[in-house]
């Protein structure tokens, strides 16, 4: 499912919810409005937070804000978020829904302060804001991975900022960090060598950030080798096929190692 399709489904869902609200009596109290909101709120959203090079599927903060700004005002409600500085300079995000002269807090979602970089701290704050708002709206996070996606995405941005963006040829085999191409190779053998140099450590989050961004390219390289090598059990016709088989095995081994960590 593409980001555009996921967002369009959400827009369509919100339109149907707003149509349903028009047929309901207008709430006269904060409690009534919150009851209707919880009854009508789409409690599961298909995440659009899937980067084309990034293995994740989570609800974005923008999607949640869209839900809140489309549905809550129809019921005389609005939301706001407050940042709190906690012990050890950790940050906490609080979501408050108000209306009819009343308001309700949904607690403070804490997030560890990052000591690695301002980018990491910003990623943590965004995650806390998203989690807090989803909690207040009673919306499921779907396949969100409890902050790991935010950490990986932050590292992808850091890696991309430290590398010169490469302009590859269409048929090249590439390594990405986020949407930025950071390396390009003319053939699969060079691509495997590049993978061994840049993403060989499956337990290293920087390696994982690049691998997750480049998974489609790894699959492309595996398919390229598979199409040009004999069936399993058959002997290679020449040295070229022998080399392709060796490269194919190396790529498959790397892919299995990362999948085992997932």
The pLDDT tens digits for 21-52 are 888 899 999 999 998 887 787 765 554 444 43
Give the tokens for residue 121: 């701290």
Predicted structure pTM score: 0.51
Segment 63-81 mean pLDDT? 94
* Cα torsion 64, 66, 72, 78: sign: positive
The packing angle between helices 188-198 and 205-227, to 10°, is 160
List 30's β-bridge partners, or say none.
Answer: none
- Give 236: exposed, middle or buried? Use CB within 10 Å, 0-12, 13-18, 19+: middle
Predicted local confidence at residue 48, as pLDDT: 46
**108-127 burial by CB neighbour count: b if 16+ within 10 A, else e?**
bbebeebeeeeebbebbbbb
Residues 6+ apart with CB under 8 A from 111: 90, 91, 92, 93, 124, 125, 127, 128, 147
**34-48, 81-95, 115-129, 189-203 — which is least confidently predicted?**
115-129
pLDDT bucket at 195, cuts 50 / 70 / 90: very high
Give the tokens for residue 147: 């902050």
């Amino acid at each position: 499912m593409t980001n555009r399709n996921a967002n369009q489904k959400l827009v369509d869902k919100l339109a149907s919810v707003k149509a349903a609200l028009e047929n309901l009596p207008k709430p006269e109290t904060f409690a009534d409005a919150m009851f209707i909101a919880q009854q009508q709120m789409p409690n599961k959203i298909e995440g659009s937070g899937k980067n084309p090079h990034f293995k994740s599927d989570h609800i974005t903060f923008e999607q949640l804000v869209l839900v809140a700004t489309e549905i809550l005002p129809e019921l005389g409600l609005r939301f706001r978020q407050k940042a709190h500085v906690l012990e050890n300079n950790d940050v906490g995000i609080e979501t408050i829904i108000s209306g009819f002269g009343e308001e309700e807090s949904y607690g403070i979602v804490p997030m560890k302060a990052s000591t690695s970089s301002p980018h990491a701290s910003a990623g943590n704050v965004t995650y806390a804001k998203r989690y807090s708002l989803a909690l207040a709206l009673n919306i499921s996070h779907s396949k969100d991975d409890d902050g790991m996606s935010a950490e990986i995405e932050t590292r992808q941005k850091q890696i991309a900022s430290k590398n010169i963006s490469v302009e590859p040829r269409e048929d090249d085999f590439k390594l990405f960090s986020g949407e930025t191409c950071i390396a390009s190779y003319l053939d699969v053998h060079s691509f495997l060598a590049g993978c061994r140099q840049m993403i060989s450590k499956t337990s290293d989050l920087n390696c994982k950030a690049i691998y997750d961004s480049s998974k489609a390219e790894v699959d492309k390289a595996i398919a390229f080798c598979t199409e040009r090598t004999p069936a399993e059990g058959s002997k290679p016709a020449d040295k070229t096929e022998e080399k392709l088989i060796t490269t194919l095995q190396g790529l498959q081994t790397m892919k299995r190692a990362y999948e085992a960590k997932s």
